[in-house]
């Protein structure tokens, strides 16, 4: 968002003073889910009361909808009508005074409310944004005031809007993305960061506009990630682009992905001439800059903390990371935001209360995370097991179990059944190797070979070795045998918490219920469980035991409604009555 636009509105000295005192007093206790949920609700109410009017009304509406607000409230309907009035004969979009920023946010609002119903309006805005792209690939205000002008912030919002259009299936030409990619790569600073106005500005020159900042580096990084997603979604990002040890680790053997989610619509019709390696190189440098400066409380951050924190959420969601360096981006961001929230539910930085509240709300509700569609291929997370001291390799590449139980680096040729037999008889030292082979074979080669293996898996589920039980639960969840749910439900009470987590994930996959039973899916996730780093061992144990009991009850209720027909009491009664 243009910081000049955000700068409109009153500057409240009293609020600034409160924020300064909060900063000087040091960090607050880690935020918990209850407090976050309460803060989200208060922010929604504040934005709703603003009626989404004024220069920041559209982004306020976007945050309200993205955080779960009513898409069909009278206030939202009025805003949609206002946006529609900017479109002449449903083909030509004419913004008011905020130009590309206004166009970008208007489009995102329409897509978030109903992309199908408002497709004509969205197409009109897409045409406006494509026509207003600068020759160098960036976006600026309503006209090119100087050669090579460009605004990193406005460009970010234009690209976010085009991404929203692409998700709705609207064509965005390859060259639009490619020009934007080359502009970012060309304008990236030697230190890896980005600046607000990366051109030699003669009019109204401000030295601050040429300095690398956390806000603009996050903005430039998020734009590159969006561009890469649109041009090369089928090309894996270079591993060392992501910060070390920052990859999201949702499950134990495997990251859980909602199988009902559809793959993002690809609208790039012609292959780009730019290479993904060029974008990855720029991303590696900018992400390194973010990691090394994360958490700094410099003047720029204090002026634009809500703007920055929402942009960080976008970068983290697109990268699929939980940390930058040693910093947990969400926990630290929430810890910063909660004490800054005013009693009326608003936040206030240099952008004014409406825009600042909208951005803080989108951070807390993880607005980008809800639209980033995972790839259909599931990412195995063997590194998590290795980190736990169990020896499962980081790279679960094609492997083969040898007669002595070791694993060689080539694809397995034997059936999954033989691997399950090997798992049963392997020594403790070889269990992890066979476990890797089972996961690799089922996930990448022959998932159908689990059919009919429920009896053997049931036996493995009772094995005294934890790693064997975990593998059995993982496989049972992918077996397609609904009766296997009984074993998985029993696994929710296992003494080993990591096995409990595996059973929980397996139930979600077996039942095709990505949201689980209404409780946290991962009982070892502190954020989901409402725990903090300061939580004691007794508090963690108490939370886990309550989760186990309630989770078992809910899944049992689900199973009783969906169990095989032969297990139902009415069937049994009919059989007995016919004798």
What residue ranges do the domains of the chain occupy?
3-9+30-200+210-243+277-364, 377-450, 462-567
Bridge partner residues of 3 (DSSP): none
User: Side-chain half-sphere of 321: how many Cα atoms within 13 Å?
Assistant: 27
Per-residue model confidence (pLDDT) at position 353: 96
Secondary structure (DSSP) of 133-183: S-TTS---SSS--STT---HHHHHHHHHHHHHHHHTT----HHHHHHHHHH
Whole-angstrom distance, CA of residue 468 vs CA of residue 489: 17
Query: What string of H, E and C letters represents the secondary structure of 219-275?
Result: HHHHHHHHHHHHHHCCCCCCHHHCCCCCECCCCCCECCCCCCCCCCCCCCCCCCCCC
How far is it, in rounded angstroms, from Cα 529 to Cα 441?
33
Category of 137 on φ-ψ map: left (φ > 0), alpha (ψ -120 to 50) or beta: left
Q: Name, in order, each residue with C-beta under 8 angstroms of 467's C-beta and a sequence gap of 6 or more.
A: 390, 431, 432, 435
Number of Cα atoms under 13 Å in the Cβ half of residue 380: 23
pLDDT at 132: 93
What pLDDT is recorded for position 224?
98
Q: Which of 50, 36, 103, 17 is nearest to 356 (CA)?
A: 50
The span from the CA of 323 to the CA of 104, in Å, is 29
The rounded distance, in Å, linking the Cα atoms of 258 and 515 is: 8
Helices (H), 397-536: 416-425, 431-440, 454-461, 466-476, 485-491, 497-511, 526-529
For the chain, list residues with pLDDT below 70: 1-31, 90, 143-145, 202-206, 234, 244-269, 373-454, 565-579
pLDDT at 333: 94
Contact 283, 235 (CB under 8 A): no
Handedness of CA 34, 37, 43, 47 (dihedral sign): negative
CATH fold group of domain 3-9+30-200+210-243+277-364: Glycosyltransferase (1.50.10)
Question: How far is Cα 120 from Cα 127, in angstroms, rounded to an integer?
Answer: 11
Give the orientation angle of helix 537-562 with respect to helix 497-511, to 10 degrees: 30
Render pLDDT for 381-421 as a digit per residue (tens, 0 to 9).
Answer: 222 232 232 333 333 333 344 444 444 433 333 455 566 66
Quick one: pLDDT at residue 383? Answer: 26
- Tally the C-alpha atoms within 13 A of residue 577's C-alpha that lie toward its C-beta: 6
pLDDT at residue 238 in the model = 75
**pLDDT (0 to 100) of residue 521:** 87
The residues that bridge with 401 in the sheet, in sequence order, are: 407
């Amino acid at each position: 968002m243009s910081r000049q636009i955000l700068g409109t509105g009153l500057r409240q000295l009293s609020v600034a003073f409160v924020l300064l005192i909060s900063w000087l007093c040091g960090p607050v206790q880690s935020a918990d889910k209850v407090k976050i949920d309460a803060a989200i609700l208060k922010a929604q109410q504040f934005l709703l009361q603003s009626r989404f009017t004024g220069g920041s009304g559209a982004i306020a509406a976007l945050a309200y909808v993205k955080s779960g607000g009513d898409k069909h409230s009278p206030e939202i309907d009025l805003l949609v009508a206002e946006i529609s009035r900017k479109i002449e004969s449903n083909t030509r979009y004419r913004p008011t005074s905020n130009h590309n920023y206004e166009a970008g946010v208007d489009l995102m609002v329409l897509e978030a409310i109903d992309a199908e119903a408002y497709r004509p309006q969205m197409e009109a805005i897409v045409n406006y944004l494509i026509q207003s792209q600068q020759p160098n690939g960036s976006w600026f205000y309503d006209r090119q005031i100087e050669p090579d002008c460009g605004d990193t912030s406005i460009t970010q919002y234009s690209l976010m809007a085009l991404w929203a259009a692409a998700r709705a299936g609207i064509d965005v030409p390859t060259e639009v993305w490619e020009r934007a990619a080359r502009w970012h790569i060309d304008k990236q600073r030697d230190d890896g960061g980005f600046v607000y106005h990366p051109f030699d500005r003669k009019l109204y020159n401000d030295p601050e506009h040429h300095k690398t900042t956390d806000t603009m580096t996050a903005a430039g990084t998020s734009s590159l990630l969006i561009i890469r997603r649109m041009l090369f979604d089928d090309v894996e990002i270079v591993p060392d682009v992501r910060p070390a040890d920052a990859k999201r680790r949702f499950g134990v053997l495997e990251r859980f992905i909602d199988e009902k989610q559809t793959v993002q619509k690809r609208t790039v019709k012609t292959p780009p001439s730019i290479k993904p390696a060029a974008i990855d190189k720029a991303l590696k440098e900018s992400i390194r800059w973010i990691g090394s400066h994360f958490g700094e409380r410099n003047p720029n951050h204090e002026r634009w903390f809500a703007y920055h924190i929402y942009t960080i959420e976008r970068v983290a969601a697109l990268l699929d990371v939980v940390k930058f360096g040693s910093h947990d981006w969400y926990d630290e961001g929430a810890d910063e935001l909660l004490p800054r929230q005013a009693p009326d539910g608003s936040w206030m930085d240099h952008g004014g209360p409406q825009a600042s509240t909208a951005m803080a709300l989108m951070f807390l509700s993880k607005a980008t995370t809800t639209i980033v569609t995972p790839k259909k291929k599931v990412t195995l997370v063997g590194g998590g097991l290795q980190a736990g001291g169990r020896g499962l390799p980081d790279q679960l590449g094609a492997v083969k179990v040898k007669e002595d139980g070791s694993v060689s680096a080539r694809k397995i040729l034997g059936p999954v059944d033989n691997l399950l037999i090997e798992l049963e008889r392997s020594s403790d030292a070889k269990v992890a190797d066979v476990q890797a082979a089972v996961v690799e074979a089922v996930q990448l080669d022959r998932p159908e070979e689990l059919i009919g293996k429920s009896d053997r898996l049931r036996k493995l589920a009772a094995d005294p070795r934890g790693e064997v039980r975990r593998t059995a639960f993982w496989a049972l969840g992918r077996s397609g045998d609904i009766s296997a749910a009984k074993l998985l439900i029993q696994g929710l009470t296992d003494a080993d918490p990591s096995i409990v987590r595996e059973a929980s994930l397996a139930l979600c996959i077996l039942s095709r219920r990505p949201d689980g039973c209404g409780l946290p899916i991962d009982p070892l996730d502190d954020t989901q469980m409402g725990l903090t780093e300061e939580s004691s061992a007794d508090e963690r144990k108490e939370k886990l035991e309550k989760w186990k009991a309630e989770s078992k009850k809910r899944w049992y209720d689900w199973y009783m409604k969906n169990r095989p027909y032969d297990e139902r009491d009415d069937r049994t009664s009919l059989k007995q009555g016919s004798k």
